[in-house]
A and B are shown apart, each in its own frame.
Chain A
Amino acid sequence: MRVHTGVMHAAGDGTSHDPDSGLRAAQTPDTRSLPFLSASGIEPPSAIESPSGVEPASMPIPASGDVAASVPIPASGVESPSGVESLSARASAAGDVAKRWQELSHEATALPERDEALDTLLGPGALVKSGRGEAGPGCTLVGGIGLPWLRDLDFGTNWLARAATLSWPDDVVLEDLSYAAHRAMHRLQELQPARVVLLGCMPRGEDPAGTIRRYALAELDEPDPDEVHERLGEAVGGIVDLDHTIAVCRHWQALPHDTVVIEVEPAESEFGWGFSQPVEDAVSKVLDMVRYEVSRSEGSTCKNPPRDVFFDRSSPSGGESS
């Protein structure tokens, strides 16, 4: 025999308690009509207690994907006194890297303040410059895809972390899309960007490490449904992959026509931090390319980037495109 808990009665849902009538008689609340807490006539505490007194973890920044997303990541390791590679030690070097990054960037400005509430609202690994509250339909989304702690393969995320320290046009949203394809698709469906620039390191094995390839979505063949199904099958199993994201998002029209992919051939994919030298060298070139992509006028073709800026994937040897 089941009885109502005090909690249920306190919820003010008007349930009746008949100890002999079993579950059916419990008359559980209709979730459409049960008053939510604020409507129950009982005011919640005025001050919301945030976690306090929690000793900072060894990482002064949140965690895993966010580690990469929230601070610039040093390219080289920092050893802790014990000899154990310390995440906190690496994070403490972030300031130096930010400084270096600002020096090499064309439009360096002061770091924008992060909006923690929007971080939460915008989902996994969200990272957007200040003013992203305006983000919505019609924006330009620069999405990085990376694999955490796998050196060059974490390019998309770490590049974004550095880029977030720079100033960008108001309609540009920088966001970590390092999650599975269907998750990225859901995010794109919510955001409805007019233009998307996707970034990542992809080991194609056809070009030298550090080669930058740029291609427009319109240049790619439509993915075969069987391929989409296979890729989605992997994605829901947790695989984060730029090609999966492109195939799945494209199948359900989540990517705008004006979508450009900029990818770099990796050299290192072992567990660890920081880019290899060839990929590190590509960072500023990619910045130039992204600057171009987000600033080209509406309606201009995304197939004709300026020469001597980047390479075209369609070229067998990764040579310059015209």
Chain B
Amino acid sequence: MCFKNLPIVFDDDGKARLRDGMSDPYAVAVAEPRDFVRSAQQRSSAGALAAPPRLREWSIDPVTRVAGALAVHTVLDLETRKAVEAHSQAMLFRGYEIILKGRDPRDAIDISSRACGVCGGVHATVSSLAIEMAFGIQPPPLGVCVRNLGEVAEMFYDHPLHLGLLAGPDYSTAIVSVTNPELVDLAAKTLAPHADVHGYVTIKDLMDGFNPLEGSVYLEALEYTRIARKMCTLMYGKYPHPSTLVPGGVSTTVSTTTFNEYYANLGLIFDYAKRLAGIWDDICDFFLQADPSYSEVGLRPSNLIQTGIWDDPSVYDACYSNIDAWGQARYSAPGIITEGELITTKLTEINMGIEEFVEHSYYEDWTTNGNGSVRFNADELGNPLSPYHAWNKETIPRPQGKNFKEKYSWDTSPRWDRLSMETGVYGRMWTTAMAQQLPDNPYIEATGDGLRMLLPAHDLPETELFWKIPEKLNAFERNRGRAYGVAFTAVIGMICLMQAFEYWRKGETSVSTSFKVPRDERVSAGFWEAGRGYLTHHMHMDKGRLINYQINTPSTWNASPRDPFGHPGPYEEAIVGTPILESVADDDIKGIDILRAIRSFDPCMPCTTHMDTGRGVITREVNSCGCTLE
């Protein structure tokens, strides 16, 4: 059964419909937000509240000048040394949906591109997909290849940046020597198992490499962002925020040299991917072996949502009626995983299960704001849609004071089948591995329990990597997955490049198709992925203008606040229960394990945070951009 919580059932032919006999099938019974601290106290008592545990409020608040921001408010139980409460707070209103209202749909490509400063092409791409679906046009095969290759390169920008510059320093000698000096001593005596690949003899050498500004892992990551951008520019002409992504393909002028130069740089990435996998295997395994409690850092249920990325040019036709076929043909599979089980890889089922709630967000509930009518009860195939679905959503901002019992975030609460879902690069590897729908190719095999990848030789020899689906989804496995994600992306890049060569060789060199802006009413959606995972743009247009345009990003899911049913969002879930493993006195706790939990998601909201320890303020940096925000 696909849906357990939504009132959707399937007939014998697999056609979805609403369950019979329900007068208000999508009714929401608002529940009291789950309060972890209070229930912990209540549980420990026999009729009366126990003595309060040694709780300490711990706020990670932003100071930001230009773009979005994330704040996380936690409560630490110093008795059990665990985080017992968490609220994730997006601090800034984005408003792209409002800006886009009434505009020419083609403007959405350029304007929505600015939703994210890290993923400088994904929004433009997904916007192009949504528009070409609405316009009823299909890009030529090489246009799809170029788009795929650009997106491959974009991942090479995102993943190293996070691993080297954002998450990496959390595992550096500079940090660990303050929070867990005994681990540094141990690291100095521990040989790195993959030293022959990455060149770092001991784990301490590796941790030195993660030191900010001067560590070689850090600096190499910075350099690889340059290489990735070169590759992006070859396909997009410009990066970030390419001007060449258009409905029906790309307007890039490509040549033999374009693909050859891309290929030369891809070789560098192959070697980097081999090293990165070894580096993160060694770091993760060292921490997990040194103290198995690290597996509880950032732990949450394996509930994942992915929209898929990298189209097969021979299958993709931009038609909603064929969306399941071309979605399942993607090299990275769309999919839903709940409690570690693959539920579906059909984009129609993913789409019909999506709802977005604003119970704890600074917005007005559009279902109660208007005349009560729902814009779309079903998609064009007859699949039922919730009033809370993106095609029905309206963005109605209502700024107000923060109240954790009521409203506390500019992020909304997207849910699938009313479940809190996470998304990320590891998620797309997970769905791809379990779906086992990859076309035959020499570079990657989905085994059901993981991905077997063969990275061609460059300076380093041909190398086979196997990413195994982790038993637990925690901070370390997120980062390890992201490191293997570079290899995953690289081999898909190789497949796409070979395809591009083939089309070029056959003389199929067109990369775009002509179109006219329709004047009648159209509804469409773009499904794609950012470096951090899930990405959709839902669009409704009429008379050549946008009526509604809704953007939903990875961090909208990951950073979401509690939903109307009282369930926390993924960051919040991951923080609650995270142990404080620092080997320092309570008053000297830096909160590094909480930060590792948050950063492992690769949050996409820029903020400088102030960690209030109760004994003063420590200024720390948390990464990102504004794409979580509405």
Interface residues of A (CB under 8 A from B): 2-8, 10-11, 15, 22-24, 26-32, 34, 36-38, 42, 44-45, 48-55, 57-59, 62-67, 82, 84, 86-88, 119-120, 123-126, 147-149, 179-180, 182-183, 186, 225, 228-230, 232-234, 236-241, 251, 271
Contact = CB atoms under 8 A, between A and B. Distances in A.
B466 to A, nearest CB: 10
Q: Size class of B's contact patch?
A: 35 or more
A267 B517 CA distance: 38
Interface string B50-82: 000000000000001111000000000000000
B435 to A, nearest CB: 16
Contacts of A64: 110-111, 113-114, 241, 243
Interface stretch (B282-290, B424-432, B507-515, B558-566): B507-515
A228 B213 contact: yes
Contacts of B233: 120, 123-124
- Dominant secondary structure at the A interface: loop
B557 interface: no
A49 B506 CA distance: 13
A133 B441 CA distance: 42
A23 B442 contact: yes
B114 A240 contact: no
A206 B517 CA distance: 48
Nearest to A203: B65
A31 B267 contact: yes
Given A26-B443, A36-B263, A123-B238, A31 B608 contact: no
Contacts of B250: 51
A51 B251 contact: yes
Contacts of A55: 514-517
A59 B113 CA distance: 15
A238 B117 contact: yes
B621 interface: yes
Contacts of B513: 53-54
Contact of B166 (A22, A49, A120, A236): A236
Contacts of A123: 229, 233, 238-239
Interface of B: 64-67, 95, 99, 102-104, 106-107, 109-111, 113-114, 116-118, 120, 124, 161, 165-166, 169, 212-213, 222, 225-226, 229, 233, 237-244, 246, 248-257, 259-260, 263-264, 266-267, 270, 439-445, 452-459, 462, 464, 494-495, 498-499, 501-502, 504-505, 507, 509-517, 545, 604-606, 608, 619, 621-626
Given A31-B458, A37-B501, 10 more contacts: A4-B441, A15-B442, A23-B443, A23-B445, A37-B259, A38-B260, A59-B106, A123-B238, A124-B238, A149-B114
A313 to B, nearest CB: 18
B601 to A, nearest CB: 13
Nearest to B606: A237
A120 B623 CA distance: 29
Nearest to B507: A45
A38 to B, nearest CB: 5
Nearest to A47: B509
A56 B114 CA distance: 21
A57 B213 contact: no
A228 to B, nearest CB: 6
A76 to B, nearest CB: 19
Given A30-B462, A148-B114, A63 B242 contact: yes
Given A7-B501, A28-B454, A238-B67, A62 B248 contact: no
B226 A186 contact: yes
Nearest to A10: B502
Interface centre among A23, A45, A186, A237 (most CB of B within 10 A): A237
A124 B270 CA distance: 25
